[in-house]
Amino acid sequence: MNKLQQLKTMTTVVADTGDLEAIKQYQPQDATTNPSLVLKAAQMPQYAHLITQAKQWATTQGNTGQAHMDDICDYLAVAIGKEILNAVPGRISTEVDSRLSFDTQATVARALKIIDLYQQQGVGKERVLIKIASTWEGIQAGKQLEALGINCNLTLLFSFAQAIACAEAGVYLISPFVGRIMDWHKAAQKVEGFAPAQDPGVISVSKIYHYYKQHGYATVVMGASFRNTQEIEQLAGCDRLTISPNLMQDLADDMGELVLQLDSKNIPVSQEKLSLNQADFRWMHNEDAMATEKLAEGIRNFTRDQETLESLLA
């Protein structure tokens, strides 16, 4: 077997793309999207008819200004998600507008709207993950949505504080970022790179995985944001990994042996169980300069892509 086939025996593989052809080619279990990927998808000819449908639907809602554009964007994200669900057996992650990252109730309301749009398209909530940035407010929105039976994917996760708060909130899944953590440390330490086992992103996700398994949290750990296949290989055995098409192809082209790295049956018992209130969370997260910077940057970048999408649709 090639390394992609071997990985699928150890880890649930998720496609990090809105490209239908790539999803059909690599046959992942699930797929994830975000504003950047929806922007790319919106520029693909095969999705042009969905933009027309989104504009027509939004017109029937009677909103104007930003609310009208929100309707177009939400419908489009759901329509693309439905197309992807035709090609995967599992779930699609659809992201709430990143501009709501610091507003718990607005995030919940937008998530309920997205779930309702999916249901109007004949897609049940059990096939959707609502994707929310891992701010304190976002994590609390995830807690409320989970209580309503709506599963969430807490993204832009860089710090151990974020991981602890998400587990305590009982969210379905987290997306700790690997490559972006490495990017920050490369720049901070002025180095070209790291040996695979010393990659700071790999170390971060491994620590979270071990903590969750040691303390019996059900929250799924899904490594994300990979820069190379070595990072993926170092996390073989993680609950899920969301991987771009080009890296899935690199794995498929490699006939070497893939070694299991994370094993839920073999967990080092070394991490004390922590509980964080809002003040504890903000302090612990703030103490991590990398996480503080990358979370803020991630929200800004997703917002810029959302604004570019809106300009394109306008």
In angstroms, the CA 267 to CA 214 distance is: 6
End-to-end Cα, the chain, rounded Å = 47
**Angle formed by the axes of helices 35-42 and 65-85, nearest 10°:** 80
Is residue 207 within 8 Å of 160, Cβ to Cβ?
yes
pLDDT of residue 204: 98
Note the pLDDT of residue 238. 98
Q: What is the pLDDT of residue 164?
A: 98
Q: What is the pLDDT of residue 269?
A: 80
Separation CA 185–CA 192 (nearest Å): 10
In the chain the domains, ranked by start, together with CATH numbers, are 3-313 (3.20.20.70)
143: annotated active-site residue: no
Instruction: Write the DSSP symbol of residue 260.
Output: P
Among the listed residues 131, 143, 213, 294, the single catalytic one is 131
3-state secondary structure of 155: strand
Residues 39 and 309: their CA atoms lie apart, in Å, by: 5
Q: Where do we find the tokens 């917002």?
A: 303
Segment-wise mean pLDDT, segments of 10 residues, the chain, 314 residues: 98 94 96 91 93 97 98 97 96 97 98 98 98 99 98 98 98 98 98 97 98 97 98 98 98 98 92 97 98 98 97 95
Query: Count of residues for the chain?
Result: 314
- Token pair for 203: 């170390």
Q: How far is CA 180 from the centre of its chain?
A: 13
Amino acid at residue number 236: A
What pLDDT sits at residue 157?
Answer: 98
pTM of the model: 0.96
